[in-house]
């Protein structure tokens, strides 16, 4: 890019700019100073041939001088070195051919010099292709001339001009100077270029070093953030466990109506706080790219019933009609996918539907969208007759910490993270969420998800009713609890006493192994963080016990850590399942029951 300069500019500095590469600058410099040398040489030649009355050569020298002046002016006005180089090469070619074929009608040392100059100049200035072009354009006719002359066939009705030795000396001298100048100039440009490349390389290395340090710092701080969040979650969830557990117990102990009301508020707030902690943690995990989707076998109908089973009560408490509609074609299907993430997505959508619907209906639908034999695409729809969403906000509600309006926050609470998590979970699987909504009429959220289909079929189709306490099997259950925290122990004991279960307590993993060896147990509830021996190690040791019945005892981990990241570690340690503290009594019971019935007695 050349700068705009005045027409009367003659300075080289004004036509050079930082935007030009070192090589382009060298080319412009070469033209600028080259023009001076050529002008002096041509002026000398002109004087020499003029006084020898060589008409043709004088005219040639005059034209050349004039061209040099014009091109020099053009260069200092607009440094278009490419066009100027072409013009110079065309002029040089014409002079060369004129000399050989018309004016001198011979090939002498000056011809050779001119050809050399053209070769050098064209290659240096215009690159390989043009270099070859101008070189051959000058060489071939000259060689042809030499062949013609050799056969004495060349004849032109014009007397060749015989110049004086002084002209030849000036010509040869000037040509050599220009050849040397072109070479030395390009050598220094080449050298500077390499030097600059090296400097750029050094600079780049320095920047790379800085970048590495910065990346390292960023990674460390992100790790510290994650660790901080995880520690905080543990610290918050442990007392929350106690609050929720205690309120559960108190609610089971027939409280007075006024106490019941207070307990409801207490439990509601604690659950709310828990879901906020979980949301923040989960979003943090998704953002840091730590989400891995599982490919587990699951029964879709069971899954949907379980998700809705928990939500239906909430809807009923608000006086809403709740309908779960499952396509009959999906009955009996065993699928492969990530049930935890499907639940999380649907759970968020259904919770929102209930939250933002003051009256009317909630529909949760799952239907077969496409059957590809080995896999199926299922359409999930969550629809409500709630407050609806403004058209303008249909995209922004998926942004983290964004709610439709400040009134929403005041009236309904929430963090604005639910839909952001849902959207990212879908996007990570290449899926998209569709929303349609009308203010005052309701909203519909839907998405399609593909699942591989197992060839296995569900053997039972009857609705699995939720398992409730008081089950015969439970009261005779021999439970071992490995837990060090006395508040948690108290909670567990109280909770289990409602189902007439009297557990045995071991205060750490090592003790649990000891107790297990001497007693007869059906199941272990294993806290993960304990002194002396933690839950993971204890589970691994148990699985190695020589008594196969004891080694195979079902173990449920009790974890206070964030929702999903612990699952893999728990399963790797040989445990069968886990419940996150603060757990819901029904969830714990359901898991206990499914494991105890699944294991042959």
Taking the complex as a whole, the smallest distance from the CB of residue 433 to ligand ADP amounts, in Å, to 11
Could you tell me the smallest distance in angstroms from the CB atom of residue 391 to ligand ADP?
12
Return d(Cα 98, Cα 114) in angstroms, integer.
12
**Residue 322, φ and ψ in degrees, nearest 5:** -125, 125
Contact (CB, 8 A) for 539 and 526: yes
CB-based contact 3:17 (threshold 8 Å) = yes
CA–CA gap between residue 553 and residue 542 (Å, rounded): 8
Backbone phi, psi, residue 577, to 5°: -160, 180
Instruction: Tell me how far, at minimum, the Cβ of 409 lies from ligand ADP, in Å.
Output: 7
> Are 556 and 577 contacting, i.e. CB atoms less than 8 angstroms apart?
yes
> Which C-beta is closer to ligand ADP: that of 142 or that of 387?
387
DSSP string, 575-599: --EEEESSPPHHHHHHHHHHHHHHS
Label the pairing between strands 321-326 and 504-506.
unpaired
In this complex, which beta carbon is closest to ligand ADP, that of residue 157 or of residue 406? Answer: 406
CA distance 249 to 582: 13
CB of 318 to ligand ADP, least distance (A): 13
Closer by beta carbon to ligand ADP, 408 or else 559:
408
Report in angstroms how near the CB of residue 490 gets to ligand ADP at its nearest: 33
Q: Under the criterion CB under 6 A, does residue 503 sit at the interface with ligand ADP? A: no
Contact status, residue 105 vs residue 148, Cβ threshold 8 Å: no
- Residues binding ligand ADP: number (CB under 6 A): 21
Q: Is 415 in the site for ligand ADP (CB under 6 A)?
A: yes
579: β partners: 558
Buried-state track 182-210, b at ≥16 Cβ within 10 A, e below 16: beebbeebeeeeeeeeeeeeeeeeeeeee
Least distance between ligand ADP and beta carbon 324 (Å) = 16
> Which span sits near ligand ADP by CB under 6 A: 38-46, 263-271, 360-368, 408-416?
408-416
Alpha helix positions (H), 78-108 = 81-97
Nearer to ligand ADP, 442 or 554 (CB): 442
Q: b/e string for 37-49 if b means 16 or more Cβ within 10 A?
A: ebeebbebbbebb
* Dist. CA 352–CA 350, nearest whole Å: 5
Which span (3-11, 141-149, 233-241, 400-408) binds ligand ADP, by CB under 6 A?
Answer: 400-408
Taking the least distance from each CB to ligand ADP, the nearer of 242 and 417 is: 417
Q: Which of 477, 473, 553 is nearest to 512 (CA)?
A: 553
Q: If you count them, how many residues does the chain have?
A: 601
The yes or no reply on residue 418 touching ligand ADP (CB under 6 A) is yes
- In angstroms, the CA 61 to CA 39 distance is 10
Binding to ligand ADP by residue 352, rule CB under 6 A?
A: yes
Among 161, 404, 484, 507, binds ligand ADP (CB under 6 A): 404
Cβ-based neighbour number of residue 316 at 10 Å? 12
Given the complex with ligand ADP, which of 348 and 576 has the nearer CB atom? 348
111 touching ligand ADP, by CB under 6 A? no
Sole binder of ligand ADP in the list 25, 67, 385, 403 (CB under 6 A): 403
Query: Should residue 416 be labelled a site residue for ligand ADP when binding is judged by CB under 6 A?
Result: yes
Examine residue 346 and tell whether it contacts ligand ADP (CB under 6 A): no
CB of residue 280 to ligand ADP, shortest distance in Å: 11
**Which of positions 435-464 make contact with ligand ADP (CB under 6 A)?**
443
User: What is the nearest approach in angstroms of ligand ADP to the Cβ of residue 322?
Assistant: 14
Our CB check for ligand ADP shows the closer of 101 and 363 to be 363
How near is the Cβ of 444 to ligand ADP at its closest, in Å?
9
Among 274, 324, 389, 492, the residue binding ligand ADP under the rule CB under 6 A is 389
**One residue of 30, 103, 420, 528 binding ligand ADP per CB under 6 A:** 420
386 touches ligand ADP by CB under 6 A: yes
Q: Which residues bind ligand ADP (CB under 6 A)?
A: 348, 352-353, 356, 384, 386-389, 397, 403-404, 408, 414-420, 443
């Amino acid at each position: 890019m050349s700068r705009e300069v005045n027409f009367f500019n003659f300075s080289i500095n004004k036509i050079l700019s930082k935007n030009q590469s070192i090589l382009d600058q060298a080319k412009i410099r070469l033209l600028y100073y080259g023009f001076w040398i050529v002008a002096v040489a041509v002026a000398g030649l002109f004087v020499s041939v003029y006084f020898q009355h060589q008409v043709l050569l004088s005219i040639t020298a005059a034209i050349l001088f004039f061209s040099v002046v014009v091109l020099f002016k053009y260069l200092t006005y607009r440094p278009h070195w490419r066009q100027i180089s072409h013009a110079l090469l065309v002029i040089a070619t014409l002079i060369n051919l004129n000399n050989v074929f018309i004016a001198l009608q011979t090939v002498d040392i000056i011809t050779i010099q001119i050809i050399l100059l053209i070769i050098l100049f064209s290659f240096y200035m215009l690159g390989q292709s043009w270099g070859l072009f101008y070189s051959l354009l000058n060489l071939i006719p000259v060689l042809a001339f030499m062949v013609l002359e050799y056969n004495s066939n060349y004849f032109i009705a014009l007397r060749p001009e015989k110049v004086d030795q002084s002209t030849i000396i000036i010509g040869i001298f000037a040509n050599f100077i220009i050849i040397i100048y072109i070479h030395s100039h390009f050598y220094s440009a080449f050298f500077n270029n390499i030097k600059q490349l090296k400097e750029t390389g050094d600079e780049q290395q320095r920047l790379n070093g800085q970048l590495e340090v910065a990346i390292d710092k960023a990674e460390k701080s992100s790790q510290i953030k994650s660790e901080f969040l995880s520690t905080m979650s543990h610290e918050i969830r442990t007392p929350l466990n106690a609050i929720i557990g205690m309120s559960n117990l108190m609610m089971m102990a027939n409280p007075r109506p006024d106490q019941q009301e207070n307990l409801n508020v207490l439990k509601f707030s604690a659950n709310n706080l828990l879901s906020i902690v979980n949301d923040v943690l989960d979003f943090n995990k998704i953002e840091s790219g730590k989400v891995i989707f599982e490919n587990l076998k699951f029964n879709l109908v069971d899954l949907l019933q379980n998700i809705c089973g928990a939500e239906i009560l909430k809807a009923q408490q608000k006086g809403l009609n709740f309908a779960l509609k499952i396509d009959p074609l999906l009955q009996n299907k065993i699928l492969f996918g990530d049930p935890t993430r499907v639940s999380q997505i649907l759970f968020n959508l259904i919770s929102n539907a209930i939250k933002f619907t003051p009256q009317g209906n909630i529909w949760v639908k799952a239907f077969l969208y496409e059957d590809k034999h080995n896999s199926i695409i299922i359409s999930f729809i969550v629809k409500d007759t709630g407050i609806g969403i403004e058209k303008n906000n249909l995209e922004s509600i998926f942004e983290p910490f964004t709610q439709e309006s400040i009134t929403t926050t005041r009236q309904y609470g929430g963090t604005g993270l639910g839909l952001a998590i849902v959207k990212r979970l879908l996007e990570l699987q290449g899926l998209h969420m569709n929303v349609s909504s009308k203010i005052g009429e309701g909203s519909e959220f839907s998405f399609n998800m593909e699942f591989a289909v197992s060839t296995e079929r569900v053997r039972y189709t009857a609705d699995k009713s939720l398992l409730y306490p008081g089950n015969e099997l439970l009261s005779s259950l021999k439970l071992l609890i490995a837990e060090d925290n006395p508040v948690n122990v108290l909670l567990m004991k109280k909770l289990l006493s409602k189902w007439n279960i009297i557990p045995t307590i071991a205060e750490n993993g090592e003790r649990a192994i000891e107790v297990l060896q001497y007693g007869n147990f059906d199941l272990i509830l294993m806290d993960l963080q304990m002194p002396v021996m933690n839950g993971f190690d204890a589970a691994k040791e148990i699985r190695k016990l020589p008594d196969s019945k004891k080694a195979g005892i079902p173990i449920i981990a009790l974890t206070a850590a964030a929702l999903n990241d612990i699952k893999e570690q728990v399963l790797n340690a040989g445990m069968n399942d886990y419940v996150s503290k603060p757990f819901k009594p029904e969830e714990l019971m359901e898991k206990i029951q499914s494991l105890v019935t699944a294991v042959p007695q």
